[in-house]
Structure 1
Amino acid sequence: MRPWCVQDVPALVKAYRDPALRRWTRSSVDDDAGAVLWVRARQHGWAEGDRFAFAVLEAQPRSDEQPIGHVVVREVAHGKPSAEVGYWTAAHARGRGVASRALEVLTDWAFETLAPGGLERLELLHQADNVASCRVARTCGYELTGALPAAPPAFPLDGHVHARSRAA
């Protein structure tokens, strides 16, 4: 895993062509210009210290390291005890445990890196009908802690809230 960079634009555009990915994510990327804006927003999060987004790469390094997924810890603030995590996997990489491995690495990184600032709990939200995301959350030790009612237009369907504490 590494922070997103402009060289990732082609892989990002390709990933967002997948209708399943577009269904489950809050943001969308339609073309190279949109992908550059998306990457710049993630870089801005690093600079501000409130959002840390990583491109997920194949486990075996190759010369053409193209991202196959995304993980993020967001809503980070010094002294705030909780933050939110999220992830997606490109269509061609699904079903291989990529999301679970990346979320586990992100979780460890977040608790090690952000605990001095007060981070004690990570929350993971997903649409209630996203069975695969629920499975990833549980696999990584994020317990189902509640349900969220739909809040259209941003959140048109009911959701699940999972959480994992630093002590876990």
Structure 2
Amino acid sequence: MLIELRAPAVPPARELTLRPWCADDLNAVVDAYRDPVLRRWTRLPVSNAAEGRRWLDRARRDWDDGRRYTFAVLEDDPDGPRIVANVVLKYPTPDGPTAEVGYWTAAWARGRAIAPRAVVALSGWAFDRFPGLTRLDLLHQVDNVASCRVAQKSGYAFREVLPPRPPFPLDGHRHSLDAP
């Protein structure tokens, strides 16, 4: 797949590249999911290589079906590009007015504005790719303060508190970004 997006460098951060996940990313997925903070906030945690392969297979299958577009986020590094995050566009339809954005950031890459820059890049791509799209939503559980900050830094306005729904036991926030 030849889709590649860019998120500009923000001093002192480096430029980011977003591209579809591939089978060669297995070790990066398993390494990222070793983080207990990441595991707390995700519905499908990865504990080993077999689960990592299933995660990558699902990402490819969902991309091919048009249900979810999941991107690996890479940061330039002196030793070569390194995967630092994941962003995903969920449930878009060719003429549908809304879709959802999700993401995670690897533990070693947090605190450097990676998630907001990747979400902004993905959001721009989504509005360009799906002309009927008028709004993107970013959802998170109320006690996930870091996700609330990412939503705000990415230009997503707080809209409402949502009641709990499985697998998340607490209320949630819905933040939205309207099409430009």
Q: Normalization by structure 2: what TM-score?
A: 0.87
Give unmatched runs, 5+ long, in structure 1: none
Counterpart in the other structure of 1:91: 107
Shift of 1:63: 5.5
d(CA) in 1 for partners of 2:69, 2:145: 25
Which is helix-richer, 1 or 2?
1
* Residue 136 of structure 2 corresponds to residue 122 of structure 1: yes
Aligned pairs (5 A) from 1:56-135: 56-58=73-75, 60=76, 64-115=80-131, 118-135=132-149
Give unmatched runs, 5+ long, in structure 2: 1-17
Counterpart in the other structure of 1:156: 169
CA contact under 8 A between 1:69 and 1:89: conserved in structure 2? yes
Query: What are the superposed Cα offsets for residues 56-88 of structure 1, whole Å, 9 maximum, x if unpaired?
Result: 001x26664331100000111222110000000
* Residue 178 of structure 2 corresponds to residue 165 of structure 1: yes
SS in structure 2 of the partner of residue 30 of structure 1: coil
Structure 1 residues 62 and 50: CA distance shift in structure 2, 3 A: farther
Structure 1 residues 151 and 25: CA distance shift in structure 2, 3 A: same
Which is strand-richer, 1 or 2?
2
SS in structure 2 of the partner of residue 67 of structure 1: strand
d(CA) in 1 for partners of 2:78, 2:123: 25
SS in structure 2 of the partner of residue 57 of structure 1: strand
